[in-house]
């Protein structure tokens, strides 16, 4: 016997509707067991599917023949139904469950027609919806082959397809005792309803969840079906690195912060010796503006070339020194990297 008993789906709301459905199914069973034997038989046959009557269509999904029939159905409903109910919401789930039961009963009447009772058709619809929502989530199963007992975990898609294969094989070979047409009809209805709900965004997948569309995602799949794919972290594009004010070493070496990069060496023709490179003359210091030009400050008196400008950084209190020809320019403190303006001497 292979029996699932747990799924690793975190639920964001209480599946109260599924609890109520399980409680009603159990209450109906214990009520019928309280009846005398002949009345219990009449009760079961009275609520079984008999044509397209409303009593059989709505009532057959609440009646079970024996305890193990009820137990097996309720275990599957508990394991898979809680997660589906938490995804859809309690009110929607209750309506969907009844609708799946009607779809399963209709499929049974079309392809079989024999009287049947049980919630297995509606529960298979819930399992089909679960496959759409959580194909990659693990299902913990109990494998019981007396005296050998083992537990294991497997992805939902594999265990669900295994039970679906048994239903297809039973319907094809005509095995008796089980309404395989109701199982397959309910499963197809639940799968289609959940898939359409995701396509039209009636049901929302969380960021850490992966639906059946994510399982087969690719370039041809619309982006709205990839709601559960990992979203890469967006990092700001680093700005272009521009050279700022001259540092103290630049000033000492006589370099200008805004100086252009050295030109690339000329390409040498093969077989011809390269000409000796001419040294680049140093760029003269900036000329202060003339006082005759309107709108510009008057030129400051020039300091002797052999005197140094001494200044204290206002940010880190470090004493700095620069040649006097750089008076009035900006430098960058080598200690705290802050921009300092040299005074006119």
Q: What are the boundaries of each domain within the chain?
A: 2-226, 245-251+301-345
**Residue 154 burial (CB < 10 Å; 0-12/13-18/19+)?**
middle
Q: Please, what sign has the CA dihedral across residues 312, 318, 321, 327? A: negative
Backbone angle region of 74, left / alpha / beta, with phi > 0 → left and psi within -120 to 50 → alpha = alpha
Q: The CATH number of 2-226 is which of 1.10.3720.10, 3.90.1150.10, 3.40.50.2300, 1.20.1540.10?
A: 1.20.1540.10
* Joined tokens for residue 254: 């006589």
The H or E element spanning position 139 is strand 138-145
Is the separation of the CB atoms in 154 and 139 below 8 Å? yes
The pLDDT of residue 321: 77
Is the separation of the CB atoms in 105 and 120 below 8 Å? no
The pLDDT of residue 313: 82
Cα distance between residue 55 and residue 62, in whole Å: 11
The pLDDT of residue 307: 67
pLDDT along the chain (345 residues), means of 10: 93 95 97 94 92 92 95 97 97 97 96 93 98 96 89 95 95 90 97 96 90 71 40 48 48 46 52 52 57 48 58 79 77 78 74
Sorted by sequence, the CB contacts under 8 Å of residue 225 that are 6+ apart come out as 198, 199, 211, 213, 214, 217
Q: For tokens 């009532």, what's the residue?
A: 59
Q: Which of 172, 197, 199 is nearest to 184 (CA)?
A: 172
The H or E element spanning position 151 is strand 148-155
The pLDDT of residue 69: 95
The structure's pTM equals 0.64
The pLDDT of residue 314: 77
- Number of C-alpha atoms within 13 angstroms, CB side, residue 24? 14
Instruction: At 173, give phi and psi (nearest 5°).
Output: -85, -10
Is the separation of the CB atoms in 213 and 206 below 8 Å? no
Instruction: At 310, give phi and psi (nearest 5°).
Output: -110, 130
The pLDDT of residue 340: 78
Cα torsion 48, 52, 58, 62 to 10°: value is: 20
Is the separation of the CB atoms in 98 and 126 below 8 Å? no
């Amino acid at each position: 016997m292979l029996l699932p008993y747990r799924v690793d789906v975190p639920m964001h709301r209480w599946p109260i509707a599924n609890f109520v459905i399980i409680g009603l199914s159990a209450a109906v069973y214990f009520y019928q067991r309280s009846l005398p034997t002949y009345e219990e038989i009449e009760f079961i046959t009275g609520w079984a599917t008999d044509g397209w009557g409303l009593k059989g269509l709505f009532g057959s999904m609440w009646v079970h023949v024996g305890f193990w029939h009820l137990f097996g159905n309720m275990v599957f409903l508990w394991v898979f139904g809680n997660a589906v109910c938490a995804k859809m919401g309690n009110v929607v789930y209750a309506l969907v469950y009844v609708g799946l039961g009607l779809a399963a009963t209709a499929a049974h009447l079309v392809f079989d027609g024999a009287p049947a009772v049980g919630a297995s058709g509606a529960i298979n619809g819930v399992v089909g919806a679960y496959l759409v929502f959580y194909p990659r989530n693990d299902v913990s199963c109990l494998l019981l082959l007396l005296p050998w007992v083992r537990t294991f975990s497997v992805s939902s898609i594999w265990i669900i397809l295994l039970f679906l294969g048994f239903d297809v094989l039973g319907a094809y070979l005509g095995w008796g005792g089980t309404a395989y047409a109701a199982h397959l009809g309910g499963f197809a209805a639940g799968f289609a309803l959940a898939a359409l709900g995701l396509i039209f965004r009636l049901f929302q997948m969380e960021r850490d969840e992966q639906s059946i569309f994510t399982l087969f995602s690719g370039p041809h799949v619309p982006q709205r079906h990839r709601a559960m794919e990992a979203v890469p972290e967006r990092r700001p594009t680093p700005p272009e690195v521009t050279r700022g004010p001259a540092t103290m070493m630049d000033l000492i070496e006589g370099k200008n912060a805004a100086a252009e990069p050295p030109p690339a060496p000329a390409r040498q023709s093969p077989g011809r010796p390269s000409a000796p490179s001419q040294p680049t003359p140093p760029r003269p210091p900036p000329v202060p503006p003339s006082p005759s030009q309107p709108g510009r400050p008057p030129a400051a008196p020039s300091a002797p070339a052999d005197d140094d400008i001494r200044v204290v950084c206002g940010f880190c209190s470090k004493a700095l020194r620069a040649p006097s020809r750089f008076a009035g320019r900006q430098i960058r403190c080598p200690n705290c990297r802050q921009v300092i303006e040299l005074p006119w001497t």
